[in-house]
Amino acid sequence: MWTLVVNCGSSSLKFALLNSATGETPLSGLAERLGSDLASVRVDRENERVTVPLPRGSYPEAFGVLLAELDALGLRRDVRAVGHRVVHGGDRFNTPVLITPEVVEVIRACIPLAPLHNPANLAGIEAARAAFPDLPQVAVFDTAFHQSMPPVAYRYAVPTDWYTHYGVRRYGFHGISHEYVAGEAARRLGRDPSGLNLVTAHLGNGCSVAAVQGGRSIDTSMGLTPLEGLVMGTRSGDVDPGLPDYLAREAGLSLPGITAALYRESGLLGLSGLTNDMRELEEAARQGNENARLAVDIFVYRLAKAIAGMATVLGTLDALVFTGGIGENSATVRAATLARLGLLGFRLDEAANAQAVRGQGGVITSGGVPALVVNTNEELMIARETAWVVAGGA
Ligand code: AMP
């Protein structure tokens, strides 16, 4: 079944046309700088890449280019559904759902929990509906996979009233990726997912780890917002909850200013003062830059602690899975992380680790608990989930 997968950010629209059974992707692309007069869309066809300017810089205009591309491929009439990545579904959705007016209202009600993402997802849904009025539209939530977490994992030790009235709890994100790589890892290990205890580490610009038991998430490092947990590209991860008050008093910073800095000026960027890009940091560290070295060291140190915590939650560990831009490509981060996790019984295979870059996944340990690299494919996961909903769901 041909499915159009749509992932809208605040100024971007990522799309892909996929066969949900085979993963075949004859068309994909990325519209960027939407909302400005510099907007353009990059279209990846099977063997070529073109960039088309978008003078109006709008979502409908980007969808217009997409329609023209589908027509050029002669596939417009074969598309059966549109699958949308939606970041926050609160505690209402533990599976993907057909988008109805009620579902739109719940996504809208979740805007305070994801103020940057959910409005963009809604704009994408609206534009896709206008472009494809006859197709079913499906929402696949980044939070849904973690809805299986038990209260012991998702509650914060704060006044209960904050939970019951304001939904203050841990939700977790990157669920689409964690679920996909957990399934792939089971397949590669030749094991039934229902009997596996996995820690999955999604390490991209955003980073999170999850404890996956029998194919279900039982804990994850991100919480109410995607700020909690690991050190990320520009996000701080865990800090003392007393920090905002302290900085407001001592530095005269506003609460929104502090939050913005925790999202955009912290993490690898804040520590290094150089960049949020792990590749560049590794290079700078090799050349002797001490701040870059410290940034990478803290990233790895906190990651190893989080993985050990997730292993504790699982009780026993069958495998560790690395994914995301850093997890899939940085042999250095993987080796340094496993070196800190001797307690869990990993034995790094240096040659296999060095080879597992640029799309070459695989097991990177020899003996002991396996660690593997699995390339994530959120688009394929969304296409599969969309096909499942269109076929009638559970
Ligand atoms: P993502 O958000 O999944 O695209 O991941 C982005 C992150 O992956 C950035 O920090 C990149 O620097 C990092 N990354 C991509 N390729 C490499 C590489 N070869 N070595 C180290 N980090 C990489």
26 falls within a domain: yes
Between the CA of 329 and the centroid of ligand 1 the distance, in Å, is 7
Tokens describing residue 298? 């803290």
Output the ligand 1 site: residues, CB below 6 A: 204-205, 233, 277-279, 282, 324-326, 329-330
**What's the predicted TM-score (pTM) here?**
0.95
Q: Please tell me which residue in 44, 71, 78, 142 is annotated as part of the active site.
A: 142
Which stretches does DSSP call E strand in the chain? Answer: 2-8, 13-19, 27-32, 40-44, 49-53, 79-86, 97-98, 137-141, 197-203, 207-213, 216-220, 319-323, 346-348, 362-363, 365-368, 371-373
Residue 235 assigned ligand-binding role? no
Instruction: Give residue 84's pLDDT.
Output: 98
346, β-bridge pairs: 368
Closest Cα to atom 19 of ligand 1: 329
Tokens describing residue 255? 């609460």
> Taking a C-beta distance cutoff of 8 angstroms, is the pair 91, 155 a contact?
no
171 falls within a domain: no
Which numbered atom of ligand 1 lies nearest the CA of 281?
Answer: 12
235: containing domain: 191-378
Tokens describing residue 332? 């250095």
Query: Are both 108 and 218 inside the same structural domain?
Result: no
Query: Are both 215 and 306 inside the same structural domain?
Result: yes
Query: Are both 221 and 293 inside the same structural domain?
Result: yes
Query: Are both 137 and 198 inside the same structural domain?
Result: no
Query: Are both 208 and 133 inside the same structural domain?
Result: no
64 falls within a domain: yes
Closest Cα to atom 15 of ligand 1: 325
Query: Are both 20 and 114 inside the same structural domain?
Result: yes
Q: What are phi and psi of 289, to 5 degrees?
A: -75, 115
211 falls within a domain: yes
354 falls within a domain: yes
306 falls within a domain: yes
Report the distance separating Cα 2 and Cα 184, nearest Å: 21
Between the CA of 90 and the centroid of ligand 1 the distance, in Å, is 29
Count of domains forming the chain? 2
Closest Cα to atom 18 of ligand 1: 329
The pLDDT profile of the chain, 394 residues, written as one tens digit per residue, is 899 999 998 788 999 999 999 999 999 999 999 989 899 999 998 889 999 999 999 888 999 999 999 999 898 899 999 999 999 999 999 999 999 999 999 999 999 988 888 999 999 999 999 989 999 999 999 999 999 999 999 999 999 999 999 999 999 999 999 999 999 999 999 999 999 999 999 999 999 999 999 999 999 999 999 999 999 999 999 999 999 999 999 999 999 999 999 999 999 999 999 999 999 999 999 999 999 999 999 999 999 999 999 999 999 999 999 999 999 999 999 999 999 999 999 999 999 999 988 777 899 999 899 999 999 999 999 999 999 999 998 7
The domain that holds 132 is classified in CATH as: 3.30.420.40
142 is catalytic: yes
Query: Are both 254 and 364 inside the same structural domain?
Result: yes
Q: Report the candidate in 328, 337, 311 with the shortest Cα–Cα distance to residue 372.
A: 328
Which numbered atom of ligand 1 lies nearest the CA of 333?
Answer: 21
Query: Are both 25 and 95 inside the same structural domain?
Result: yes
